[in-house]
Amino acid sequence: MNPKLRALFETIGPGSPARYLSDTETLRLTVFNAASGVRVALRGRKVDENGESKFASNEITPTTARAASLGDVQPGAGWLVGAAAIVTAGTPLDGQTYAVLSIGIGLGANFTETEVLAAGTISAASRLSWPGSPIEGPLDGAGALRSITGTVPAAGAEISETVPTGARWNLIAFRSTLTTSATVANRAPALSFDDGANLLFSAPNPYLLAATTTANMSWGEGLYDAQNLNTIEGLAGVPANNRLGSGFRIKSRTINIQVGDQYSLVQYLVREWIEGN
């Protein structure tokens, strides 16, 4: 073996997965994020042909819209011996920030990916590191628990909540209040899922609301239909382990809804993953 290369291998250590980078190769960090105030650092260490250890880094503020944000560094020729993606600001939950460490040729829009080093969700407490971290998909983790306050619709209108672009939801619980007008009719609220156009599922709540009534309507994973007459709370179930993709909707569907009926206090709990589109 070339004595220079032998010296390099001895510097790096036996069994190291060190990877030689040419001058034109780039270490890229791709981040998909939903949390606010997050900054992510890309840090890499290389050993150059003189056996010297050098650091390269970049730091990005990823968009909160779950779209890809990129950070590139070109460490220069040498052996890449370590790389990491580290949250340096913000407190994203597990499932809100997904990072990919990869190598490719070129920079920016001219980047062509050749290898993925590591991928997975990161948080203030968990880093992504190469070597060491596995290559995980964005849907592999536990997901982030989010309590969301939805839109209060205009009087007479139904609730409609859309799964954001780049997200996947598991609806755990949903609750809202319906106040009916003086118009005489029996309102029968249901909670439905659709794919943005086609109705997929509808769960009628057993509570029928007459005129001039206020009641809370709840739906939960795995619940049986029930109506608690003491607290004016109607309960119904939604499918366990349901999954709703981007653009899918959670909607109320109220048979006999009247123009003056008003939904309010729209609150729901979801487990959210990032799709990584």
Give the residues lining the site for another protein (CB under 8 A).
34-37, 63-65, 67-68, 70, 96, 108-109, 146-154, 156-162, 164-166, 184-186, 188, 194, 197-199, 210, 246-247, 249, 251, 253-259, 277
The β-bridge partners of 113 are: 104
Question: At which residue do the structure tokens 């769960």 appear?
Answer: 203
Tell me if 238 sits within 8 A of 220, measured CB to CB.
yes
How far apart, in whole angstroms, are the C-alpha atoms of residue 57 and residue 41? Answer: 7
Work out how close the CB of 142 gets to another protein at its nearest, in angstroms, rounded to a whole number: 16
How far apart CA 42 and CA 137 sit, in angstroms, is 19
Nearer to another protein, 50 or 165 (CB): 165
CB 172 within 8 A of CB 270: yes
Residue 182: φ, ψ to 5° = -80, -5
Residue 148 or 226 having the CB closest to another protein? 148
Nearer to another protein, 34 or 122 (CB): 34
- Smallest distance, Å, CB 39 to another protein? 14
Q: How far is the CB of 61 from another protein (least distance, A)?
A: 13
Q: Judged by CB, which is closer to another protein: 26, or 254? A: 254
Q: How far is the CB of 90 from another protein (least distance, A)?
A: 8
In the complex, the smallest distance separating the C-beta of residue 149 from another protein, rounded to whole angstroms, is: 6
CA distance 67 to 47: 33
CA separation (Å) from 90 to 14, 34, 61?
A: 38, 11, 10
CA distance 71 to 228: 54
Give me the least distance between CB of 198 and another protein, in Å please.
Answer: 8
Q: How many Cα atoms are found within 13 Å in the side-chain-facing hemisphere of 10?
A: 8
Measured from the CB atom, is 199 or 240 closer to another protein? 199
Q: Residue 17's closest CA among 109, 125, 129?
A: 129
Q: Which two tokens stand for residue 174?
A: 């949903």
* Strand-pair category, 233-238 with 214-221: parallel
Cα end-to-end distance, the chain, whole Å: 44
Nearer to another protein, 50 or 151 (CB): 151
For another protein, the closer of residues 51 and 247 by Cβ is 247
Shortest CB 164 distance to another protein, Å: 5
